[in-house]
Structure formats: C-alpha cells, structure tokens
A = this chain, B = another copy of it.
Amino acid sequence: MAEKKNSAGKDSKPPSGLSLNTLGYQLLGVVSRQARSGYDIVKQLEYIRPVKTSQVYPMLARLENLGLVDAEDIEQTGRPNKRIYSPTAKGRQVLTDWVGTEPDLPVLRDDFLTMVYSGWVREPQEVIDMFERRIVYLRAMISEMESRLAELAVTARDDLKNPKSWLFYRHVLLMRRLGALQQEIIWSRSVIGLLHDTDSAEKTTNEGEIDD
C-alpha cells in the first residue's frame, strides 16, 4: 500500500533500543529544567502542550521504570503527599541525544481553519463575522503572551541573553508564539478585506447594472 512516511523520508530512528514518544521527551525536558511533581508539570505545560493528568502520571511511571527519572516522595500535612521528579544522568543523556535529531513534520489541528475551508457554504458577511471573532480571540492571546514576556523580562533579565539557560529558550518560544499570532491577525484582516471588496462589488453590480 505504501503510505507516505513522515520525517522527510530519512530513517532517523534513535540508534539505541529505547524510543520514547514526544510526550516522553517533553516530560523529560520539563523536569530537566526544574524538578517538579506530576501536578506541577500539567500546570506548566498548560500553554505550550496541554496535557491531561491521566496521560502524565502513567508516562512518569514509565520514565521511572526506564531509569530516566528519579522520584522523591514528599510527605505533606493538610494536603496530599507528592512525588517530585527529576532526571537521572541517563535521562539527561537521552534528552540531549534526542535534541537535534530530524523532527517529524509538524501537525496543526485547528477547527477554525476547517471551518474556513468550507466557508463558501456561508454568506460572505457571516464569514467576516467569524474572522472578527477570531481576531478578538487572537488579541486576547497576544496580550497574554505580552504579559508573560514582560514578566520574563523583569524576573530573568540576565538569563535571556544566555543560551545555556533554559530561560533563553522560554523567551525564544514566547517570541515565536507572539509572532505567529500577529501574523494570523494580519492574515485575518486581509481575508476580511477580500470579503468586503467582493461583497460590495457584487452589491454594486446588482444595484447599478443588470446582469444575468
């Protein structure tokens, strides 16, 4: 049947037998930045890779079994005990080996775009409304990114110029998301423009001339 393979046709399988999925490497990345509990990891990933506890806890257990992370049990009174995970030397090595390998093709799942795909079934004015609402959402995301960037700038001023600090990459990734959001607003406005043009053009035609 020969369905197309991902990752640009190269076989870029890791040479060692152990092969984590992306979530595994992501979790390894989070606890390598800073030791955290499963609960904290979920909160931490909320913006960059939303993930459910029901997926995180089993994966942390698997990483522990593979000897890639260690867990320290913390007894607490008044609230549940917790397990703080940190990477082992092996875990740090596995992560380092993975970073820089050929990544799979990125996948974007966006219902809004799927709706735009079928936008022609709706009236142009209704699609304009869709895009207007989208811009409201995008603007909200932008101001969120901006406040997170502003916060970074005061709490980590010096680290932002040091690419051996993970804060450097936090900054870099926030910049990327901001840029993507701004780009999407520009695009949305251009689509609204196109829809207005053709809309009024049609109206003028229908009012001023007789065609058909």
Chain A positions within 8 Å of B, measured between CB atoms, are 1, 3-4, 8, 22, 25-26, 28-29, 32-33, 46, 48-50, 52-53, 92, 95-96, 98-101, 103-122, 124, 126-127, 129-130, 137, 161-166, 168-169, 172-173, 175-176, 179-180, 183-184, 186-187, 190-191, 194-195, 197-199, 201
Known pairs A120-B163, A120-B164, A183-B183; A107 contacts B109 (CB<8 A):
yes
Whole-angstrom distance between the Cβ of A88 and the nearest chain B Cβ: 14
Do A163 and B124 touch across chains, with their CB atoms under 8 A apart?
Answer: yes
Closest to A196 in B: B163
Do A110 and B121 touch across chains, with their CB atoms under 8 A apart?
Answer: no
Which residues on the B side are within 8 Å of A95 (C-beta)? 118, 121
Do B110 and A103 touch across chains, with their CB atoms under 8 A apart?
Answer: yes
Known pairs A100-B115, A103-B110; A121 contacts B32 (CB<8 A):
yes
* Cβ 8 A contact of A106, one of B4, B22, B112, B164: B112
| Closest 5 A/B residue pairs (Cβ) | A103-B111, A106-B110, A29-B118, A183-B183, A103-B112
Sample (26) of A-B pairs whose CB atoms are under 8 Å apart: A1-B53, A29-B118, A32-B121, A49-B114, A50-B107, A96-B122, A98-B115, A99-B115, A100-B122, A101-B115, A103-B112, A103-B114, A106-B108, A106-B113, A107-B110, A116-B172, A117-B169, A117-B173, A119-B163, A119-B168, A120-B163, A120-B164, A120-B166, A162-B198, A176-B187, A183-B183
